[in-house]
Structure 1
Amino acid sequence: MCGTSATWTTSSTNSSTVSSTVLLPVTEKSSSGCSCCAPQEAAAPAAPVTSDEVSAAFPVLGLTCGSCASRVSGAVGKIAGVREARVDLVAGGTSTLHVTSATPRDAGLVASAISDAGYQLASS
């Protein structure tokens, strides 16, 4: 477990193209990290939501590092119509998955993708 906060973004322009970036706050120089989420260069922030898009947030349990966040955002990013799936990581706590799409996505479909990735939604 890394113990560092991160934002992981997966963007999809169609169902076959998925790219991921990670934004890690820099508090001190370190050349180490856990094997699954070694430090990476910071990327540009995600594109803002436009007025013709819908954004929803989902609380997710069990994410401990950037690799976990990537797994979840990648799985949700494959859902048809999802433009962006971004995780605000709280290592070991309740992380927040932000899903942006042209129309609302079925919460059950998002929950199923999260479950298929090996994680679960937090109870409300």
Structure 2
Amino acid sequence: MSFTDLGLTDKNTSGGGCCGGGECMCGHGNAESSAAVATVVNGALATTFGVTGMTCGHCVSAVTDELSALGTVTNVSVDLKPNEESIVTVTSDEPLETASVRAAIEDAGYSLV
């Protein structure tokens, strides 16, 4: 297994939330973190992203649904860390455009770090 730093670090920490747009009563927060990391597993590309603002199962569902709608995505898994940076791993048949991932995460109401 090999790891590739994609250099996708972003200092954009604008908040969001699942409970009505913008900051919500769930306590969604903001943070800064590391770049995305991609690995190849059984011929599929697994890319790990840091996402801020997720605090509950609804948050996980919202992000999973948005990312799953991207064309080549075959799986999404989330390591939820409420009030911290959650780790989202997206498995796809082809490399994902950072702009598409960012848009999907922001559409769900959260921030890609």
Match of 1:109 in 2: 100
- What TM-score comes out, normalization by structure 1 length? 0.57
Q: 1:66 aligned to 2:72?
A: no
4+ residue runs over 4 A deviation: none
Match of 1:97 in 2: 88
- Once superposed, what is the RMSD of the aligned Cα atoms? 1.2
Q: Distance in 2 between matches of 1:110 and 1:83?
A: 14
- What TM-score comes out, normalization by structure 2 length? 0.62
Q: Distance in 2 between matches of 1:108 and 1:85?
A: 17
Higher strand share: 1
Match of 2:24 in 1: none
Instruction: Point out where structure 2 has 5 or more consecutive residues left out of the alignment.
Output: 1-39
Cα shift at 1:86: 1.1
SS at match of 2:76: strand
Which residue of 107, 110, 120 corresponds with 2:111? Answer: 120
Flag the structure with larger Rg: 1
